[in-house]
A and B are shown apart, each in its own frame.
Chain A
Amino acid sequence: MSEWARLEAFLTTDPRDVGCDEAMAVLHVYVEAIAAGLDPAARYPGVAAHLAACGPCNEDFEGLLAAVTNPDLGG
C-alpha cells in the first residue's frame, strides 16, 4: 500500500459505523456470538464496522473475548 493509499484508508469512514456507545452496549452479546463460532457481523454490521475502525473499542472487544474464552476463569 502506498503512503497516500494508507492516508486515504485512514480518512475513509464507513457510514454503517454506529459509534462507541452503541457498540459497547452490545459488546457482551457480540463477543459471545463470536466465541460460539457465529457471525454477529451479519446481525450487527454497524458494530462490526465500528470495531474495524475504532482502536480502543476493538481492544475492549479483544479483551472481553480473551476473558470469556479463558479456561482459567471458569466464572
Chain B
Amino acid sequence: MDEASREWLAALGAEGAAREEGVARLHDLLLRVALHEVARRGTAITGPELDDVAHQSADDATVAVLAKLPTFRGESRFTTWAYRFVVLEVSSKLGRHYWRRPAARLADEDWERLPDRFGVDPSAHSERREMVDAIRRAVDEVLTEHQRALFVAIVLGGVPLDALVARTGSSRGAIYKGVFDARRKIRAFLDANGYLDDAPGAGSDGREGAGRP
C-alpha cells in the first residue's frame, strides 16, 4: 500500500483528537470532490440547491467511508476508493432531486415519443407508424409487466435511471437488468419477425446469447 493511503488509515483508525482531525480532513476532501462533481454534471439545478446536494453527498459519503473502512484492501489509493463513495452519492442525490421538478412525473404510454427518441423525422408518418407498431407488438408479446413499466418510463418517458431508483427503492443494478432484458427480448422479437432485415448488420453480430447481467 502507498504511503499516503497508510497515513489515511492510521488517522482514521486513531482515537480521540487524532481521529477527529482525520475525519474532518476526509470530509473536507470529499466535499471538494462533491462540489467539483455537481458542477461537472451540468444539471439544471443551481445555486444553494446544488451546494446542498454537494454537502449532503459529502456528509453521507464520509459516513459510508468510515463504515466500510475495514473492507478497504488497498487495491487502489485510499482517496480513489473514498472518492467513489462521494460520486455514487452525488448520483443518488441527483436522482432523488429529479422528482422535485414541477414537470417530473412517470410518463403515460406516449408512444409518439418513441420515433423522436431515435431521430425519425416528424413528417415521416409511415416510418413513424411502422416503428411504433413494431415496438408495441414486441412490448405486448414478450415483456413482463415489470419490464414494460421500466421500458415505458425510461425510453418513452425519458426518466433518468437513478430517478427511478429513488422513486421505486429498487437498486440501479436491478433496474438496469430489467431494461437490459427488455432490450434483449425486443431485439430478438424484431429479428425473428423480420423487422430488422433492412438495418445494416442486422442479426450478424452474434450477440444473441442469453447474456448477462
Q: Which residues of A contact B (CB under 8 A)?
A: 2-8, 10-22, 24, 27-29, 31-32, 46, 50, 53-57, 59-60, 62-64, 66-68, 70, 72-73, 75
Instruction: Point out the residue from B83, B119, B213 that lies within 8 Å of A18, measured CB to CB.
Output: B213
Q: In whole angstroms, how far apart are the Cα atoms of A16 and B147 in the complex?
A: 21
Query: Is A19 touching B127 in the complex (CB atoms < 8 A)?
Result: no
Q: Is the interface of A mostly helix, strand, loop or mixed?
A: helix
Which residues of A have CB within 8 Å of B88? 24, 60
Chain A nearest Cβ from B37, distance in angstroms: 5
Known: A15-B212, A64-B83. A70 touches B36 (CB 8 A): yes
| Chain B residue total in the interface (Cβ 8 A) | 55
Whether B16 sits at the interface, judged by CB under 8 Å, is no
Q: Is there an interface contact between A63 and B87, defined as CB atoms closer than 8 Å? A: yes
Is A16's CB under 8 angstroms from B91's CB?
no
Hey, which chain A residues are within 8 Å of B29, CB to CB? 73, 75
Q: Is B200 an interface residue (CB 8 A)?
A: yes
Alpha-carbon distance between A10 and B199 when the two chains are bound, in angstroms: 13
